[in-house]
Amino acid sequence: MRHICLALCLSVLALPGLAQEIEARKVYPGTGDHSLRIISTADLDVFHPYILAFQKARPDLTVEYSVASSVELYKAIRAEAEYDLALSSAMDLQMQLANDGFAQGYRSTRTDALPDWARWRDLIYAFTAEPAVVVLSTKVLGDRPLPATRQDLINLLRTHPDRFVNAVGTYDVRESGLGYLFATQEARSTDAYWRLSEVMGRLLPRLFCCSSQMVEEVIAGDLALAYNVLGSYASERLARETDDTIRIVRMEDFANVMLRTAIIPANARNTDDAGAMMDWLLEVGLRESADAWPLPPLNKSSAAATTGFGPIRLGPALMIYLDPLNRRAFLEEWENALEQ
């Protein structure tokens, strides 16, 4: 399969081969000579406790944790870089990898316990369900109530453009895989997305690669509002803040719930330990109690209760927006909306 040339030329993603941009790497040395190489989109400090806990059970295992953007991760796996486990928040890219044969099957009693919506075949398994949220500073609200819907948000932005000029942040969907996923799914689900985008476009929005940066800027006061931020990051970061003027708002009209997924790459060497890690992640993901893990559990009922919507469906339909023609068309529209 390796030698088959896939002409799926995603214009943005089609970058030359093996030179991935690894943002951070950390090795957790074990006592034995086995090592497990993980590539992930989750920041090191977010995932750190998971690795420590896993290593407590497997002290012999050396864990090598590399952080990359979802696009870089996708490219790395496609270029057959040697990783044993790939954890990504970009469901569509993971889906494309699995569909195109870059993931290998894995089954255990753990995976069998997963609900159907949290897996695709025996290739992709979800271990968190993370909603997209709005983070905003209440200072800009004045006497207005917290916006509950996109329409509220549009009204707020239109009423007080002065408060938001240069102070609205969102994903640069051209660079962020997750941002692109959120944007396409939202555009598919609600027409308010484009209206909101146009409103934001007039306010000279600032574009980001990652949720964490947006949250930091809101906390720093440089941003009044960050749209489509990963709720998990925001909660985790804000829990460390004392400033109660910053609020996490979940949209009630529609909210994306992203599933963070894991695949075992087709060329993985240490599949046994990758499977063990997968099982362990699923065990944490399926936990009933709201333990103090940085990432929220899969628990569908809680996700459904807080957002009113199910998570983004795993399946080949996710690949639709990755099609170069579709992507070009979507980005054109997006750029028209946001870069006025």
Partner 1 sequence: MIPQISIGRRLTALLAGVAAVLSLLSWSMVSGLARQAAAQSQDNVLAASATTIAETVRSEQGEVRLELPYSAFSMLGAISEDRVFYKVTAGGTLLTGYADLPAPRADPASGRITFQTEDYLGEAVRTASVRRNVLAGTRAVPVDVTVAQTLGGVRAISGQLSRTAAGLSIAFFIVAVGLSALAARTSLRPLNSFAQAVSRRGPSDLRPLRRDTPSELAPLRSALNRLMDRLGQSIRRSEDFIAEAAHRVRTPLATVRTQAEIALRSAPDADARQRLRQIIRAVDESSRSAGQLLDHATVAFRAEDLAQDRMDLGVLVTQTAAALEPTATMKDIRLELDTAPAHVNGDAVLLDSALRNILDNAIKYSPEETTVRIKVRAAEKTARITVSDDGPGLGDGPARALTGRFCRGSNTEGIIGSGLGLTIAAEVLEAHGGQLDLGPNPEGNGTCVTFVLPSA
**310, 313, 339, 340: which one binds partner 1 (CB under 8 A):** 313
Q: Please, which residues bridge with residue 136 across strands?
A: 225, 247
Strands 35-40 and 62-67: parallel
Contacts with partner 1 in 60-119 (CB under 8 A)?
Answer: 98-101
324 lines the binding site for partner 1 (CB under 8 A): yes
Angle between helices 192-201 and 150-159 (to 10 degrees): 20
Site for partner 1 in 188-247 (CB under 8 A): 188
Closer to partner 1 by CB, 7 or 305: give it.
Answer: 7
CA of 222: how far to CAs of 83, 166, 212, in Å?
A: 38, 9, 14
Q: How far is the CB of 249 from partner 1 (least distance, A)?
A: 27
Minimum Å gap between C-beta 108 and partner 1 is 18
DSSP 146: P
Cβ nearer to partner 1, comparing 310 with 315? 315
β-pair type (85-88, 35-40): parallel
The reply to whether 14 sits near partner 1 by the rule CB under 8 A is: no
Rounded (10°) angle between helices 177-189 and 324-338:
80
Q: How many amino acids of this chain bind partner 1 (CB under 8 A)?
A: 24
Distances (CA, A) of 125 to 46, 51, 195, 201: 19, 18, 34, 36
Among 60, 272, 317, 332, binds partner 1 (CB under 8 A): 317
- Find, among 47, 30, 43, the residue nearest to 70 by Cα: 43
- Using CA atoms, how far apart are residues 229 and 21, in angstroms rounded to an integer? 23
Contact flag: residue 315 with partner 1 (CB under 8 A): yes
Query: What character string, x for contact with partner 1 (CB under 8 A) and - otherwise, covers 270-309?
Result: ----------------------------------------
Residues that bind partner 1 (CB under 8 A): 1, 4-8, 98-101, 120-121, 188, 313, 315-317, 319-320, 323-326, 329
